[in-house]
Amino acid sequence: MLVYMMKMEENVNIGSSRVIHRLDKGYKITKISGNDCKMMLRDKYSTPLAVIELCGDKVSNVRGYKSVTYDNKYRKILVDYVRDFHYHLTEEAAVDLGLSVIKIEGELDIYLTGQEFSSSKLAEYLRRPEYVSITFNDYDKNVLTIPSGTKNCSLNLTHASVKKLVIEKKVNVSVDLRDNQYTEILDIKDNFSGRLNLSRCNLEEIRIADNCRCDMLFNYSGKCFNLVVGDVFSGVMDIRNSCFHNLEIGYYCYAEIKLSENWGRKNISVGDSFRGTLSVDSVVAKNIRIGNDCRGKINISSKDGRCRVKNLEVDDDFNGELNLRYMQTIETVNIGAQAAGRLDMVSCPSVKAVRIEENFNGVADFSSSGLMYLQAQKGCRGRFVFLHCDNLSLLKLPRSNVSDMKLNSSPLEISKDKEYVYYKFDERAIPEEYQESWLASSFRKLKKVMRRNLPT
């Protein structure tokens, strides 16, 4: 008897006065009592299926009855309902209904299902001269290609099921991959300009070709990734709290690159003729290498010993600024030939050995650092500051030139051979890993020549 009375009451609640719209195959939209902005989709038996939040002409939310996910077979009914009555959708509602949203400047929004949103339609919208914004929902493709010449567009792929995103040459777009769980490869061809937001996505391979200018933000990567950037890259690259296997920047980069709280298995490599700013803060990597002819600013720091970068190599013709102040982990630094920049290792407790090749004519300040051993080769005319270097054991400087040195302690012994003057400050032996033999030095120089002359 109680069950019968409850059914009677339900029938009263959904009587003709409560039905807002009657749809095909007996489906109907009813108003939920006590809430003017909530509607209910019911079948021909009046079974509640989905709740629709609709105020005015905008749908803001669609969800299953009692928060249970509604069956996808009802999605088409809801999509037809929205289209028939020309309702607008919020971003959340478009996701709920699996509709991609195309916004064209000066026109009404266009909503397309995954089946309707073909490659030809995408190309048609991307060719429009007006500003176009596309949000991909329920869009499933193995490879999505943005055609060459696309410009003045914004692409949101957060909910796109795309394994590989390819951006062809001469494209100017803004790409949003935040929180995307599907895309593994991002392949950007030459002359790209725009913005990339990759935070919390699952990319594994990022390739950016030559002559690209873009701002890239990547926070909290979902997976470890490889990043290879081509020549003449500019813009701002900000990578934080992420994992990379390898990070490589090409020739003549004049970007601002910020790496913070990241960890990597291999190297950070910056190509020749760097003209930008590289800031590395609390990053785990095997080594850091800076190419020839660097005129940029290199700042490497760490909040604690977790950074684990132990070796830094700077190739020939350096004339920029290298700042290792307060760095906690770097032990050895190699500076190439013809260097004329500024080396700032003030209060760097971890640095133990610095090796400088021929014809150094810059300024190197090691005050209050942990420096134990410094070697500079022939032609050195630079200025060295060793104030309060309590760990200093040996300076090996060329006898052919007189360097400008500032010390607040006197060496215990000064000796000479055919090539070098040795300033000895204590009796400790320098560990072999800090000294470099003639053979090791020659091999390292050969590798630099090969890197410079072999095609990449």
Q: What is the pLDDT of residues 398-428, one digit of tens each?
A: 987 767 899 998 999 999 998 899 999 998 8
- Mean pLDDT computed over every residue of the chain: 89
* Pairwise CA distance, residues 421 & 20, whole Å: 96
* Pairwise CA distance, residues 300 & 278, whole Å: 8
**Which residues lie below 8 Å from residue 117, measured CB to CB, with a gap of 6+?**
100, 136, 139
Q: What is the pLDDT of residues 214-239, one digit of tens each?
A: 999 999 999 999 999 999 999 999 99
* Pairwise CA distance, residues 162 & 139, whole Å: 7
Closest Cα to residue 93, out of 28, 137, 56? 137
Q: Examine the pLDDT at 1 and tell me if it is beyond 50.
A: no
More confident residue, 89 or 35: 89
* Pairwise CA distance, residues 142 & 156, whole Å: 17
Q: Examine the pLDDT at 14 and tell me if it is beyond 60.
A: no
More confident residue, 212 or 17: 212
pLDDT at 266: 81
pLDDT at 305: 67
More confident residue, 9 or 116: 116
Q: Decide if 72 contacts 49 (C-beta within 8 A).
A: no
pTM: 0.87
Backbone angles phi, psi at 48, to 5 degrees: -70, 130
Show the tokens assigned to 108: 């009404």
pLDDT at 219: 96
Confidence band for 455, pLDDT divided at 50, 70 and 90: low
Q: What is the pLDDT of residues 210-220, one digit of tens each?
A: 999 999 999 99
pLDDT at 441: 61
**Which residues lie below 8 Å from residue 75, measured CB to CB, with a gap of 6+?**
97, 98
Q: What is the pLDDT of residues 96-154, one digit of tens each?
A: 999 999 999 889 999 999 989 999 999 999 999 999 999 999 999 999 999 999 999 99
Confidence band for 447, pLDDT divided at 50, 70 and 90: low
Confidence band for 36, pLDDT divided at 50, 70 and 90: confident
Q: Examine the pLDDT at 70 and tell me if it is beyond 80.
A: no
Q: What is the pLDDT of residues 268-306, one digit of tens each?
A: 999 999 999 999 999 988 889 999 999 999 999 987 766
